[in-house]
Copies of this chain bind each other. A is one copy, B any other.
Amino acid sequence: MARRLSELAALVGGEVRGDGELAVEDIATLAAAGPRQLSFLTNPRYRAEAAASRAGALLVGPDVELGERTLLVARDPYHALAVLLGVFHPPASPAPGVDPRAIVGRDCVIHPAAHVGALAVVGDRCRLDERAVVLPLAVVGADCRIGARSIVHSHAVLYDRTELGSDCVIHAGVVLGSDGFGYATHEGEHVKVPQVGKVVVEDGVEIGANSAIDRAMLEETRLGAGSKIDNLVQVGHNVRIGRGCILVSQVGIAGSTALGDYVVVAGQAGVAGHLRLGKGARVAAKSAVFKDVPAGGQVAGIPATDAAKWRRQQALLQRLEDLQRRVRALEKRLGEEEGGEG
């Protein structure tokens, strides 16, 4: 359904520069958008593409100049994009009810507005709240809880006693609550330490495809409210993730480590076990953290060190050849033999 720009601007607290009566039918990328579509410039590196776009209008931030283009100006254009995409593409909800081909255990409490899909398996004594969704072939173990509006995609597996808050999204292939990796090596044998805790996922957490979150040895592994976890991420047993954290794809957090609120761990980084990362700490992509990071700290490298220091080191490494040459020159001036070089 087409929407007028002025109407869209109102939804995001923005304003139109140009014809507010212009109606757009959808949102599209700069390259694909035509005159009946809204496009967007949320990353300055695409400025040239924006100028060349055939889009009928462009969603931009303040202070963006694009000549005569019709603009929808929002203070936070990326957030506005999130809102407007939801306007044009409202999420579909599956019909309420338990599919007769699902397998549901005893003593479950399933809200009538919840959905359990065909061939999904739900164990005994589970509770599914209003509009909770378990898609076909998902597995929910015994004694689990799935909060309101949370969705468990196909082929996700919740081991027994996993708790999901409300408004969570658990993507396909996610495993919540598998055993932590704990062995006591005794007389040459790795003896399994029973992992008898659980996983607790607070409200508003999204977990990407094929990520694995281990249950605690005792008590709980906990993912804080509003945290977002990308695909193929590993979270070890007894880890505590604060609120609003971001773990990018292929990150690993080893056992018993605690992340404060709003910690960001960039792609493929790893954090060793039993550490503390303070509130707002940031770990650069591909880093390996072996020490605590204070609140607000930014670290990079293997082993991770202060990010600014790491950048200086990298710059020095680029000049290492030069440094070696200069030392050789000094040695020559002092009439030395050039010994010691392999």
Contacts and interface: CB of A to CB of B under 8 A. Distances in A.
A109 interface: no
A153 B342 CA distance: 54
B178 A192 contact: no
Interface in A216-237: 217-219, 226, 228, 230-232, 234, 236
B193 A81 contact: yes
By size class, the interface of chain A is 35 or more
Contacts of A234: 230-232, 249-250
A218 B55 CA distance: 14
B139 A139 contact: no
A274 B44 CA distance: 12
How many copies of this chain sit in the oligomeric assembly?
3
Interface stretch (A63-71, A125-133, A180-188): A180-188
B270 A250 contact: yes
Given A285-B272, A288-B268, A325-B340, A206 B192 contact: yes
B228 A183 contact: yes
A320 B331 contact: no
Contacts of A210: 173, 175, 210-212, 232
Most interface-central of A85, A190, A274, A321 (chain B CB within 10 A): A190
